[in-house]
Amino acid sequence: MIARAAAFILAILSLLPASAFGQVRAGGVIDGVVSDSNLVRLSGAAVAIVGTTTEVTTDERGHFRISGIPSGRVLLMIRRIGYVSLPSILEVVAGDTLRSSFTLERVVPALDTVVVAARTPDNPLSEFEKRRRQGVGQFMTREQIEKLHFAETASYLLTFKSTEVIANKLLNKRDRPLRNCPYQFFLDGVLVNTPDVIADLPRPGELAGIEVYSGPSTIPIQYNTIGDGAGPGANSNGGASCGVVLLWTRRGP
């Protein structure tokens, strides 16, 4: 009787799809080591994926590991007191482990003010301000963000023309037949996977500016070369034809 029941169960299980056994493809993994320029392992360094809530800290051997990362390019930011913050763009593949080493440079007090002025990095918002003066696209400055005082970044995005949120994705509603047409996002100039506008975007307090381009003809050329998103039914992953959102984060207090 027991053998007959076991045979029946095995027959039923053989008819189930593989997904029924939990065989879901795992996300990618970043396995890294952080050290200084003298190859001394650094503990207590904060490692974060920009645009998400994911953040870990290196252990006493300078090691960290982040798992469950969706496929695509991610912007990794590594910070430690006394060292220059290090941004790194990595390509993550689902089911694979990416092993990398990262070297932080110590912050050296500048004694020569002239040299310091010469080495000051370009303002990342300079291109934002230049395009805003030209008047092509839709813009929101830090002052406007503070004035509206919304709790969620998604609320700011909904104030722009041709935007709507469905299932936590920002879609372009300029052409009704293409309802499933998600905007393509860039964070500080880096392409990010089509995000959940509630969970994955920076908080309003982190934003310095927002640009929205709802038509391909208005998108700046450097942000108009990835993805096509053309044609009904081909827009589920977005693309330049669905429009582009540029988010700029604040630098300093």
Q: What angle do CA 249, 236, 213 make, to 5 degrees?
A: 40
CATH number of this structure's domain 26-104: 2.60.40.1120
| Check whether domain 126-249 has CATH 2.170.130.10, yes or no | yes
Domain with CATH 2.60.40.1120 in the chain: 26-104
- Position 240 scores a pLDDT of 67
Q: Tell me the pLDDT of the chain (253 aa) as tens digits.
A: 545 544 544 554 455 444 444 444 468 999 999 999 999 999 999 999 998 999 999 999 999 999 999 999 999 999 999 999 999 999 999 999 999 999 999 987 655 555 555 444 557 688 899 999 998 899 999 999 999 999 999 999 999 988 888 888 888 887 655 567 888 999 988 888 778 888 888 899 999 999 999 888 889 988 886 544 433 333 444 456 788 999 999 865 4
- Position 173 scores a pLDDT of 82
Domain with CATH 2.170.130.10 in the chain: 126-249
